Amino acid sequence: MPCRKVTIERIEEKRQEMFKLAASYGLTSLLTVQASQELDTLLNALASKRESEYFSLQKA
């Protein structure tokens, strides 16, 4: 996955893509599963970013 800034908009785009793939190809298709894994990666990156920001504020 290209290294782009993680945003709520990007997460929502990936979620919509995953839903469309699931509707077209089914929940267990390789394309749907890959989109789901990419969405997980984005969500984890956002959570990590927010956690890092939270702890940075706590130290200040």
Can you tell me the distance from the alpha carbon of 52 to that of 23, in angstroms, rounded to the nearest whole number? 36
Question: What's this model's pTM, rounded to 2 decimal places?
Answer: 0.81
> Tens of pLDDT along 4-21?
688 999 999 999 999 999
Q: Is residue 43 part of a domain?
A: yes
Q: How many domains does the chain divide into?
A: 1
Q: Is residue 44 part of a domain?
A: yes
Q: Is residue 9 part of a domain?
A: no
Phi, psi angle pair for 5, to nearest 5°: -60, 135
- Give residue 39's domain range: 17-48
Q: Is residue 27 part of a domain?
A: yes
Contact 36, 15 (CB under 8 A): no
User: Given this model, what pLDDT does residue 23 score?
Assistant: 98
